[in-house]
Amino acid sequence: MGHDPAARATRARRARWVATALLLSVTLVVVVCATGRHRQPKRRSSRDPVRIGRQVVAPAKLGDPWPQPWRDQAHTSLSPAVGPVVPVRLWEYRPPSDPDRSSSAQDIVGGLLVGRNGAVYVRYGETQPRMVAIGPDGGESWTIPAPPVPAHGGIALTPDGTIRMCAGGEAYLIDPIGAVSEIVTARTDRLSTVGRDGTLYTTQGSSIAATAPDGSELWTTAVEGTLVTTGPVIGDDGAVYALAATPSGGSRLYAFEPGGAERWSADLQGIAAHDGGVCIGADGTLYCGTDYGLSAVTRDGVVAWSTEVRPGVRLVPAASPDGTIYVSGGNAISAVSRDGPVKWRYEASVGEAVKGNLVVDVQGSVYARSDRNVWAVRADGKFRWVERFDAGNGPTANDTGYLALDDDGRLYCATPQGVVIAIGQAPDAGGKGRT
């Protein structure tokens, strides 16, 4: 009865199974404890800021290298990547209507964006209105029709990677594969600054507005004068700053609370250009460009200094890693130190007026574009390289010009004829100059 061989075999197998289970449990406990004692250092999130010299560069929206025309909500135009030192043209994207370099112009409006998947997004305005995604190899990934818009029609990447395209009082929300997921109300067709929480801030005429991602209006207010078309900038505390040309022939910088109430205003020397603007430095100082030059305003509304820069500052200033501010006007780029003096000035050839936005890389090199060239200038003001492109013989469709730099150091340039060019580091150059 108690000596049944089959029963003894069953009890033996059960004992071996229990022993094995206990051994596995003990092993698992040991592994978990060891893991707890030797935790790997926490990896930096794509949301965490990156410190570059004195400048803290906030990653551009969950890994999007260049999600809006001046990269971030502070309009720094500053990238954590190293741009091309010895340039090589990687590819060109030409609109389908211009396959053989004809003179027909294609007007790119609203900026040139680079998404986290390596795609480049451009929007063509009135000639053949459409939204296009260009793949990392320069091929067209997708294209969708879009309503025609003016030269400052807005596109931007929101924090979740959605492309927001405004037209005709509506905002089209487009996913990365080119499908329109939703259409919401848009207050304006113009450029928007996207905050880190996804709020969109726009200016039009004398009005400034904040809009939730779903299209609902959060607040709107009006100022005295005409606001610049490049949109407001947003501080780390959520304060909103906007530059306006006043009816008396001057300029005024306005500061608003996150909820829209006016915080302060400061009068500046000179008149703000319609496509000029403001950028915010690492310490919260606001740098404003006018036809007089550059003014620095503290976050409390005190004008710290104003420096004359000839022939004036026409475009949005850009921030360098060491706190230097780059400005452009006419065919010149100037570097202004954080306490006011001009450090250096680089002049391109006569007639090579700087268009659109500047781009600054982690080494302080600055990249600019004219109607026929894109060029690079080192942090010390010395010329680095120039890349010429075929501007065609037809009309210049795009007077603004756009540049963007991705996280791998590829520079993208939109030409006046609607061609997008990718410029990278020459492979045989190695690390030359990257010190």
Cα separation, 68 vs 159, whole angstroms? 11
Q: What's the mean pLDDT in 344-351?
A: 87
For residue 402, being part of any structural domain is answered with yes
For residue 238, being part of any structural domain is answered with yes
For residue 36, being part of any structural domain is answered with no
For residue 344, being part of any structural domain is answered with yes
**Would you call 138 exposed, middle or buried from its count of C-beta atoms within 10 A (0-12, 13-18, 19+)?**
middle
Cα separation, 113 vs 98, whole angstroms? 22
Give pLDDT tens digits for 232-276.
Answer: 999 999 999 999 999 999 999 999 999 999 999 999 999 998 888
Cα separation, 302 vs 255, whole angstroms? 12
Q: pLDDT averaged over the chain?
A: 81
pLDDT band at 128 (very low <50, low <70, confident <90, very high): confident
For residue 76, being part of any structural domain is answered with yes
Cα separation, 114 vs 134, whole angstroms? 9
| 108-122, 182-196, 230-244, 315-329: the lowest-pLDDT one | 182-196
Helix/strand/coil percentages in the chain, nearest 5 = 10, 40, 55
For residue 64, being part of any structural domain is answered with yes
Cα separation, 197 vs 212, whole angstroms? 9
| 152-156, 207-211, 345-349, 412-416: the lowest-pLDDT one | 152-156
Highest mean pLDDT among 114-123, 156-165, 193-202, 357-366: 357-366
Among 408, 363, 375, residue whose Cα is nearest residue 116: 408
> How large a percentage of the chain has pLDDT more than 90?
51
What's the CATH code of the domain at 317?
Answer: 2.140.10.10
Residue type at 191?
Answer: L
- Of 6 and 118, the one with more pLDDT: 118
Does residue 211 carry a pLDDT above 70?
yes
Cα separation, 327 vs 368, whole angstroms? 11
For residue 44, being part of any structural domain is answered with no
> How large a percentage of the chain has pLDDT more than 70?
77
For residue 16, being part of any structural domain is answered with no
Range of the domain at 124: 50-429
Number of folded domains that form the chain: 1
Residues 141 and 134: beta-carbon distance below 8 Å: yes
List the Cα angle 254/257/262 in 5-degree steps.
Answer: 45
The reported pTM is 0.82
